[in-house]
């Protein structure tokens, strides 16, 4: 049997960078304590990723996820901003309350913050294409310095009231579907003569999905690893299931039995964006055992 792990399985660049930042801060704190320095609590602003094992591991090392509602309760310390980023007021609130902000916002997301800030300062009306409830979108809109709206489908566009001579700047949530983005941009461009669209979709998700599709198409068994509630993992599962009827969705190696595996052929493995490498390797090792 051949076991093939997709190269794009698991953490994307931005998530890896944020998680590495937290572990690096833990190490720095240990070194400081060893030199007799005063302890400084470390927090993450919200769970650093949607993975309970990682969040619990960090909690065991003293890192607590907090929100604005916790600022009265916890002593000030260093707070790490996750890859999704946050709005400007949250940054300011944290700093004004005596917290040191360590910004692990993915640079691709920070670039969108800069784009919408500059666009609104130039008098442009900002339109964000994405899920209005998603933390990344809430963060992006929090850097706009003027009027803006969020749209995620044609219905939202129909309800828009933007004057046809308004200058419009369109950006997207980084994980938005590429084809849908282009379709919505075409609709939006009919509204105003002066629209410009900046494609801010990150290709990490798309690459992970294309590689999973290609691997599942030639695999005898396909394993998709990720959190039950992770929408990007569910999407990966659907893509793989379409190509390979024996596709399993597991959260950890415990959900998999050797009986699920073939005696020969190819086992493909991919994983959602919040799956750490050790969980992927454990599944790979079980397949090889």
Interface residues with ligand F3S (CB under 6 A)? 12-15, 83, 106, 108-109, 174-175, 202, 204-205
Q: How far apart are CA 117 and CA 96, in angstroms?
A: 21
For residue 248, count other CB atoms closer than 10 A to its CB.
20
Provide the minimum distance between the beta carbon of 97 and ligand F3S in the complex, in angstroms, as a whole number: 26
Residue 121 CA neighbour count, 13 Å, CB half: 7
Sign of CA dihedral 156, 158, 164, 170: positive
Closer of 187 and 234 to ligand F3S (Cβ) = 234
Q: Is residue 72 within 8 Å of 98, Cβ to Cβ? A: no
Query: Which residue's Cβ has the minimum distance to ligand F3S?
Result: 14
Which residue is listed with tokens 């369109």?
Answer: 170
Provide the minimum distance between the beta carbon of 121 and ligand F3S in the complex, in angstroms, as a whole number: 23
Closer of 41 and 65 to ligand F3S (Cβ) = 65
Q: Which of 53, 121, 136, 238 is catalytic?
A: 136
Provide the minimum distance between the beta carbon of 35 and ligand F3S in the complex, in angstroms, as a whole number: 34
Q: Is residue 287 within 8 Å of 225, Cβ to Cβ? A: no
Q: How far apart are CA 210 and CA 214, in angstroms?
A: 6
Closer of 107 and 123 to ligand F3S (Cβ) = 107
Closer of 2 and 199 to ligand F3S (Cβ) = 199
Sign of CA dihedral 185, 188, 193, 194: negative
C-alpha dihedral over 162, 200, 100, 31, to 10 degrees? Answer: 170
Confirm whether 136 is a catalytic residue. yes
Closer of 185 and 202 to ligand F3S (Cβ) = 202
Provide the minimum distance between the beta carbon of 83 and ligand F3S in the complex, in angstroms, as a whole number: 4
Provide the minimum distance between the beta carbon of 263 and ligand F3S in the complex, in angstroms, as a whole number: 37
Active site residues: 136
């Amino acid at each position: 049997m051949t076991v093939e792990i997709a190269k794009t399985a698991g953490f994307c660049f931005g998530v890896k960078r944020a998680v590495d930042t937290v572990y690096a801060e833990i190490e720095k704190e240990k070194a400081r304590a060893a030199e007799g320095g005063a302890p400084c609590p470390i927090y993450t602003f919200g769970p650093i990723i949607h993975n309970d094992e990682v969040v619990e591991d960090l909690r065991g090392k003293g890192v607590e996820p907090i929100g604005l509602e916790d600022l009265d309760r916890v002593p000030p310390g260093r707070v790490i901003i996750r890859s999704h980023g946050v709005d400007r007021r949250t940054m300011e609130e944290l700093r004004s309350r005596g917290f040191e902000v360590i910004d692990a916002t993915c640079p691709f997301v920070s670039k969108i913050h800069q784009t919408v800030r500059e666009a609104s300062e130039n008098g442009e009306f900002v339109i964000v294409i994405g899920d209005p409830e998603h933390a990344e979108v809430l963060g992006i809109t929090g850097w706009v310095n003027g009027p803006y709206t969020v749209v995620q489908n044609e219905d939202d566009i129909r309800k828009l009231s933007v004057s046809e001579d308004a200058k419009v700047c369109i950006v997207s949530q980084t994980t938005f579907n590429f084809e849908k983005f282009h379709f919505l941009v075409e609709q939006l461009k009919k509204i105003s003569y002066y629209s410009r669209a900046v494609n801010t979709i990150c290709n990490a998700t798309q690459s992970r999905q294309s590689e999973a599709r290609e691997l599942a198409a030639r695999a005898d068994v396909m394993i998709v690893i990720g959190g039950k509630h992770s929408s990007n993992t569910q999407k990966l599962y659907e893509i793989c299931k379409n190509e390979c009827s024996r596709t399993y969705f597991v959260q950890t190696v415990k959900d998999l039995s050797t009986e699920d595996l073939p005696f020969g052929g190819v086992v493909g493995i991919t994983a959602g964006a919040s799956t750490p490498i050790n969980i992927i390797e454990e599944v790979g090792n079980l397949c090889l055992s």
